[in-house]
Structure 1
Amino acid sequence: MKKAEIKLNVTLDETNVPESIQWTSSDGQSAEELPAKAMFLALWDAQYKNTLRIDLWTKDMPYDEMKRFFYETLQTMADSFIRASGGDPMAEKVIADLRDYCAHYADKMEILEQQN
């Protein structure tokens, strides 16, 4: 059985606000820590049937990048749910609604215009 390790290091200021986030993965191409400005981590607690979450972003994370981060996270959550649903037709309908919302969010936050 193969195992992999993901390691996160967060440096906090005196008020516990993240100054930097560094991460490594044992499956990665490099052993060096890589920087990140934000992260969402969600774990399912099967015993209590709820989600455990950690949402962090560094104090120098630009607002425009945060908007894009939310947009891309919503899109990838839709991708993950489609894979996890195994082709459930109801899931595909709900994901279509989520993708419509993502397009609406991107329009309102002017995300796609910034990309061009």
Structure 2
Amino acid sequence: MKKAEIKLQVELDDANVPDKITWSSNDGESSDELPAKAMFLALWDSAYKNSMRIDLWTKDMPYDEMKRFFYETLQTLGDSFLRSSGGDPMAEKVIADLRDYCAHFADKMEVLEQQN
């Protein structure tokens, strides 16, 4: 069986605020550490039927990038749910609603205007 390792490193300042986040994987073309300014990690605990999460961002993460990060994360969560649903028609309807909300979020937070 093939195994892959994803490594996350977080450097903290004296107040335990993230200064630097890097990640690497041994399953890609390069195992170099790559920088990141923010991360959301969610794991499902099937024994307790709940999620465990780690949400971190560096203190130099700009607010406009954080808004874009949230928008893109919501969009990709919808993609992931669709892939996992096996073509469930109700999932497709619910994800359409999520897409509508993402458009609303992007409009209110002026996410897409910042891109241009």
Same fold (TM over 0.5): yes
> 1:24 — aligned with what?
24
Match of 2:79 in 1: 79
Q: Give the Cα–Cα distance (whole angstroms) in 1 for the partners of residues 115 and 84 of structure 2.
A: 30
Runs of 4+ in 1 over 4 A off after TM superposition: none
Separation (CA, whole Å) in 2 of partners of 1:19 and 1:111 = 25
Alignment pair present for 1:8 and 2:8: yes
Name 2:105's counterpart in structure 1.
Answer: 105
Instruction: Work out the CA distance in 1 between the residues paired with 2:67 and 2:22.
Output: 21
How far apart are 1:30 and its partner, in Å? 1.3
User: What amino acid does structure 1 have at the position aligned with 2:47?
Assistant: Q
Matched position secondary structure for 1:47: coil
- C-alpha displacement at 1:115, in angstroms? 1.1
State the partner residue of 2:40: 40
Letter in 2 for 1:46: S
Give the drift of 1:32: 1.4
Provide the secondary structure at the position in 1 that maps to 2:55. strand
Q: What is the Cα-based RMSD across aligned positions, in Å?
A: 0.5
> TM-score normalized by structure 2?
0.98
- 1:90 alignment counterpart: 90
In structure 2, give the amino acid aligned to 1:22. T
Q: How does 1:36-75 map to 2 (within 5 A)?
A: 36-75=36-75
| Cα distance, 1:114 vs structure 2 | 1.0
| Identical amino acids, percent of aligned pairs | 81
Q: What are the ranges of 5 or more consecutive residues in structure 1 without an aligned counterpart?
A: none
- Secondary structure at 2:4 match in 1: coil
User: So what's the TM-score if we normalise by structure 1?
Assistant: 0.98
Q: Identify unmatched segments of 5+ residues in structure 2.
A: none
| Partner Cα separation in structure 2 for residue 101 and residue 89 of structure 1 | 19
Structure 2 SS opposite 1:105: helix
Instruction: For residue 27 of structure 1, report the CA deviation from its aligned partner.
Output: 1.0
